[in-house]
Amino acid sequence: MTPITRRHFDDKNILKLTHPYAKIVREIAEDTDVTFVDMESLTRQHFQSQGKTLSALRFMHIKPNLHPNYPNGITDNTHLNQLGAREVAQLLLTNLRAINHPLIQQLRTPDPKHLKYHYKGF
């Protein structure tokens, strides 16, 4: 598995490749025929589709005087906040399901009362 992308946009609003070693990880996975999840590509596509403004809501961007740990605020384009972490976990889960990875068998069974709900969009 590669690391997730960092949120560094270039002057054309395209996310930069921030992990030069990810290519080597991809090659090793292919050469050794192991199960591989390319989180760098998945997250880069995900955050690129959101753009600069919406993707910022998924990272540790905190204005001054809002959080006791960051009285001066913080603009951290590497670490996810709770929303970003949940979305990235969902990307991984979707990928594991797509490749029928054995870890999927370890997930809890949904509560039957939740199975009656369906997504209808906005």
- What is the signed CA dihedral for 26, 32, 36, 38, rounded to 10 degrees? 0
Alpha carbons 23 and 8: distance in angstroms, whole number: 18
Q: Measuring CA to CA, which residue among 99, 110, 106, 113 is closest to residue 37?
A: 99
Q: Where are the domains of the chain?
A: 22-107
In the predicted model, what is the mean pLDDT of the chain? 94
Q: pTM of the full predicted structure?
A: 0.86
Query: How many angstroms from the chain centroid is the CA of residue 36?
Result: 15
Name the band, by pLDDT with cuts 50, 70 and 90, for residue 114. Answer: confident
| pLDDT tens for each residue of 10-32 | 999 999 999 999 999 999 999 99
Find the helix or strand (DSSP H, E) in which 57 lies: none
Using DSSP, state whether 89 is helix, strand or coil.
helix
